[in-house]
Amino acid sequence: MGNTFGHLFRITTFGESHGGGVGVVIDGCPPLLEISPEEIQFELDRRRPGQSKITTPRNETDTCEILSGVFAGKTTGTPIAILVRNKDARSQDYDEMAQKYRPSHADATYDAKYGIRNWQGGGRSSARETIGRVAAGAIAKKILRQVAGVEIVGYVKRIKDLEGAIDPNSVTLEQVERNIIRCPDLECGDRMIELIEQTGRQGDSIGGVVECVARGLPKGLGMPVFDKLEADLAKGVMSLPASKGFEIGSGFAGTLMMGSEHNDEFYTDEAGEIRTVTNRSGGTQGGITNGENIIIRVAFKPTATIRKEQRTVTQAGEETVLAAKGRHDPCVLPRAVPMVEAMMAVVLCDHLMRQQGQCGVLRLG
């Protein structure tokens, strides 16, 4: 229960951090989409551990294997299964955590819910679960590009109290990938990197905000009232590990404005299209896309597993202390960028199919 997401474009992720592997089954992908392991691997490489000095040193290549649903380089319309095998698990690092609960991690709640938990690396609650999401997102992105010309770009907007100056309407993937923090504001990015390194040396962690924009979406996507587009986007990104907040458009800042300041006034452009002068709505009105850019922000908490000693209890309720071992990100934000992009792509792809129909209009060959 709870491992499947989507309606027409449906993904089911599987696997644990220190098990044999992790992956995804994608159901509902239209046939005849050209897709290669290399295209999926590009996105997985942006998510994988060990990619820079500010991420966990766990040495995983995260090489993907397409097990089904693709023949002669094209999707067949049947379920696509993608597997990534775990290669560098060090389960002994978690021996102490077999009995001691990590503060603000999922250890205690998994025990409370199931009466059993995989304590090696966090099991199913580990961010390695997101490998399946990112693989599915690579396919969703290609469908969105091919069918509707949609482009999705995510980036690190803020680390702790350091915030970059970035224009979501013009930012590019190339600008995002220019530094290891994935902040297109290079000067601010350098300060972010320095702060993360300093935090890691102290055995602590920090959080921040990922901003993500989708450009080129057609009008009319979204299924009111319970499946409003922003509602599904919120559910998608808030299901990511360590996510703690969601905003679209003006978000909470909009509460500081008057209606006359916040409303997006209409005009007709040179092509005769109805547009809005501003985009404080963030690309949706009434839960339906209005043709403007979708702009969302996702807040991520500091990584729960840290090396600093903290008070905790054992499974038996005995008070104790824990200074966690293992390999962990001092800040999840750089690797969270492709995760947010992936969930946005999955949601948008699903809503595109729901609007236009999986067959016929969305036939890819």
pLDDT by 10s per residue, the chain, length 365: 799 999 999 999 999 988 899 999 999 999 999 999 999 999 999 999 888 899 887 778 999 999 999 999 999 999 999 999 998 766 666 778 888 999 999 999 999 999 998 888 788 998 999 999 999 999 999 999 999 999 999 999 999 999 999 999 999 999 999 999 999 999 999 999 999 999 999 999 999 999 999 999 999 999 999 999 999 999 999 999 999 999 999 999 999 999 999 999 999 999 999 999 999 999 999 999 999 999 999 999 999 989 999 999 999 999 999 987 767 889 999 999 999 999 999 999 999 999 986 444 555 55
Helix (H) or strand (E) holding 275: strand 274-276
Q: What is the pTM of this model?
A: 0.95
> d(Cα 179, Cα 186) in Å, to the nearest integer?
7
Q: Which two tokens stand for residue 327?
A: 């390999």
**Cα 111 to Cα 29: distance, rounded to the nearest angstrom:** 36
Enter the CATH code of domain 4-362.
Answer: 3.60.150.10
Residues facing 285 on adjacent strands? 288
Instruction: Using the Cα atoms of residue 20, residue 127, residue 174 and residue 216 in order, give the sign of their dihedral.
Output: positive
pLDDT value at position 90?
A: 65
pLDDT of residue 58: 76
**Pick from 40, 36, 58: which is nearest to 49 by CA?**
58
- Residue 303 DSSP class: P
Radius of gyration in angstroms for the set of CA atoms belonging to the chain, rounded to a whole number: 21
Q: Where in the chain are the domains?
A: 4-362
Chain centroid to CA 3: 15
- Residues 82, 69: Cα–Cα separation, whole Å: 9
Looking at residue 359, what is its pLDDT? 42
- 347 within 8 A of 229, measured Cβ to Cβ: yes
Q: What is the pLDDT of residue 99?
A: 87
- DSSP structural state of residue 120: S
Total residues belonging to the chain = 365
